[in-house]
């Protein structure tokens, strides 16, 4: 019985690892750093789609919280995260690896965001849905095509 909180938390950890590897690699291996960031961006965007297209609507239908509550906050933070991803992507695409300011902003938003999801939202989702709904959601997430 896989919990949404466990699976999504592990994905946060995996994504954090890719981003850390990008940050530690970029000063001495530009091509590898570029690939690592591309993988990170693609996978984080897919993670956001899992939430916004599968998990959040299910939560909202259970709780009636559509335009307020935790998912509204998470969507607003997703827009901020995507903005930082684009700024870093644009810099790297032009050969500029001086992205520390954008990285710092991304880490700041992402750390607080992930903590809220892992401590509040994901457990709330797990407690709001049936085992069948959980399995159907996980299957939909697994079958979602890559966004890269």
Tens-place pLDDT, residues 15-73 = 999 999 999 999 899 999 999 999 999 999 999 999 999 999 999 998 888 888 899 99
Residue 96 pLDDT:
86
pTM over 0.85: yes
Distances (CA, A) of 93 to 119, 125, 127, 139: 35, 38, 43, 34
Per-residue tokens: 88: 């870093």
**What percent of the chain is modeled with pLDDT above 90?**
80
CA dist 98 and 84 (Å) reads 13
> Domain spans of the chain?
4-143
- Tokens 């994504």 belong to which residue? 15
Mean pLDDT for all residues in the chain: 93
Instruction: Identify the pLDDT of residue 18.
Output: 97
How far is the C-alpha of 64 from the C-alpha of 79, rounded, in Å? Answer: 22
pLDDT band at residue 143, thresholds of 50, 70 and 90? confident
Phi and psi angles of residue 27, each rounded to the nearest 5 degrees, phi first: -80, -20
Neighbours of 10 (CB within 10 A): 11
pLDDT at 68: 83
The answer to whether the beta carbons of residues 59 and 121 sit under 8 Å apart is yes
73 three-state secondary structure = helix
């Amino acid at each position: 019985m896989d919990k949404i909180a466990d699976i999504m938390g592990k994905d946060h950890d995996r994504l954090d690892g890719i981003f850390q590897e990008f940050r530690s690699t970029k000063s001495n291996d530009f091509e590898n750093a570029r690939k690592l960031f591309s993988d990170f961006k693609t996978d984080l965007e897919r993670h956001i789609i899992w939430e916004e297209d599968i998990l959040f609507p299910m939560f909202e239908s259970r709780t009636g919280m559509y335009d307020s509550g935790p998912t509204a906050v998470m969507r607003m933070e997703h827009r901020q995260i995507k903005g930082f991803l684009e700024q870093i992507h644009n810099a790297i695409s032009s050969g500029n690896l001086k992205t520390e300011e954008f990285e710092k902003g991304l880490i700041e938003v992402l750390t607080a965001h992930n903590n809220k999801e892992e401590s509040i939202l994901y457990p709330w989702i797990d407690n709001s849905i049936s085992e069948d709904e959980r399995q159907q959601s996980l299957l939909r997430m697994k079958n979602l095509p890559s966004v890269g």
